[in-house]
Amino acid sequence: MSKVLVLMGGTSEEREISLNSGQNVCKALEQKGFQVEVLDLNKDNLNQIADIAPDVVFIALHGKNGEDGTVQGYLDLLGIPYTGSGVATSAICMNKIITKKLLSYEGLPTPDFIIMKKKTFDRAAFVVRSLVQKFGLPMVIKAATQGSSIGTYIVKKENEILPAIEAAFQYDQDVLIEKYIDGTLLTVSVLGNETPCVLPIIEITSSNEFYDYESKYTPGMCEHLIPARINENLQSAITRISEETYKSLACRGFARIDFMVDHKGQPYILEINTIPGLTDMSLVPDAARAVGISYEDLIERLVKLALEK
Ligand SMILES: Nc1ncnc2c1ncn2[C@@H]1O[C@H](COP(=O)(O)OP(=O)(O)O)[C@@H](O)[C@H]1O
Ligand SMILES: [Mg+2]
């Protein structure tokens, strides 16, 4: 019987979601007969990982100090295998700006964007005007390394631009300004290592203006439509793009890729989540269930993928 240590909680903005993910993961692992240990990770209890000496670590942390490669690096040093992607991929995908640069290099579609640096940001009126000229309104303003829609602003009026940029700088030194894509929000779950499998595409509808924190985590405020209401051509294009994205960023275990599709049917990658939510109402478990993989089977499969060389 393998001993699995579940890391959950942590110190990021997404702590509550991680606790929820982690509790579900623990239950599933116990049902599958694993010996389960739990650690609510912080800087003072890191050394307990080595003391517990698990065969494998299940990282159910989201956001900074969990999803961003730091914990992965620590586990690499200890020589303990873990679920999900490695150090470099985790760090890259945590940063939306670096991710978008790599996607552009690979010729994978992502909305046009520019980068603003807190240190050199010019609050002048002409900056705002040139942003409106380049992107039009609405435009999207995002902190580079947040998740769960924290630090993401969809701005409709010119006078909201500066406050949104300032708000995003509260979270990050780097902020991206992105073209707003009017259309449909889709998310694609991918499972596997060298030969990844793309699970059914989910369309997300939200009763709020966009898929914000509230609509993500309040029951009944969003709907997951499986299958997504898109034609077969678009479905195969998005499946191919997802597989290419997963491989070119060297993801492992699993990942969830968020897309917007505009009214012309052009898909754009918004971001790659290397530790997507694993709560009861999360998207990856829903996509897995749609192909007959139960939540427990999904969690067991992630552990097996972690142990694959
Ligand atoms: N360029 C965009 N055009 C339209 N909507 C967007 C755009 N970028 C983000 N959104 C909306 O904001 C949500 C969160 O953005 P995302 O980039 O996925 O970051 P995260 O989920 O990490 O907060 C998306 O699910 C979508 O509803
Ligand atoms: Mg997202």
Of 107, 82, 290, whose CA–CA distance to 197 is shortest? 290
End-to-end CA, the chain:
19
Could you confirm whether 211 is annotated as catalytic?
Answer: no
Residue 17 near residue 23 (C-beta atoms within 8 A): no
DSSP 8-state secondary structure symbol assigned to residue 160: G
Report how far ligand 1's centroid is from the alpha carbon of 149 (Å): 7
Residue range 240-250: mean pLDDT, rounded: 98
What would the pLDDT profile of 64-111 be if each residue is shown by its tens digit?
999 999 999 999 999 999 999 999 999 999 999 999 999 999 999 999
Q: What is the pLDDT of residue 286?
A: 97
Confidence of residue 213 (pLDDT cuts 50, 70, 90): confident
Tens of pLDDT, residues 219-242: 888 899 999 999 999 999 999 999
Which position has the token pair 């309040």?
Answer: 218
pLDDT at 215: 80
pLDDT band at 281 (very low <50, low <70, confident <90, very high): confident
Tell me the helix, strand and coil percentages in the chain, rounded to 5. Answer: 35, 25, 40
Task: Determine the pLDDT at residue 92.
Answer: 98
Interval between CA 212 and ligand 2 midpoint (Å): 9
Q: What is the pLDDT of residue 233?
A: 97
pLDDT in the model for residue 266: 98
Q: Give residue 179's pLDDT.
A: 97
Q: Which residue from 68, 76, 51, 56 is spatially nearest to 7, judged by alpha carbons?
A: 56
Contacts of 96-101 spanning 24+ positions with Cβ under 8 A:
96/142, 96/144, 96/145, 96/176, 96/271, 97/144, 97/174, 97/176, 98/144, 99/249, 99/271, 99/272, 100/176
What is the per-residue pLDDT for 133? Answer: 96
Would you state the pLDDT for residue 127? 84
Supply φ then ψ for residue 18, to 5 degrees: -60, -40
Whether omega for the bond prior to residue 285 falls within 30 degrees of 0, making it cis, is: no
Specify whether 213 is catalytic: no
Q: Name the residue among 278, 302, 309 with its Cα closest to residue 61.
A: 278
User: Does 181 sit in the ligand 1 pocket, CB within 6 Å?
Assistant: yes
pTM score = 0.96
What tokens were used for 247?
A: 């491989």
Smallest CA-to-CA distance from 228 within 257, 263, 212, 204 is with 204
Per-residue pLDDT tens digits for 111-124:
999 999 999 888 77
210 close to ligand 1 (CB < 6 Angstrom): yes
Is the pLDDT at 148 greater than 80? The verdict is no
Summarize pLDDT for 11-30 with one digit per residue, the tens. 998 899 999 999 999 999 99
Domains and CATH numbers, the chain: 3-83 (3.40.50.20), 92-109+182-307 (3.30.470.20), 113-179 (3.30.1490.20)
Among protein residues, the one with the nearest Cα to ligand 1's atom 17 is: 270
Average pLDDT, rounded, for the chain: 95
**Hunting for tokens 């993801």 — which residue is that?**
251
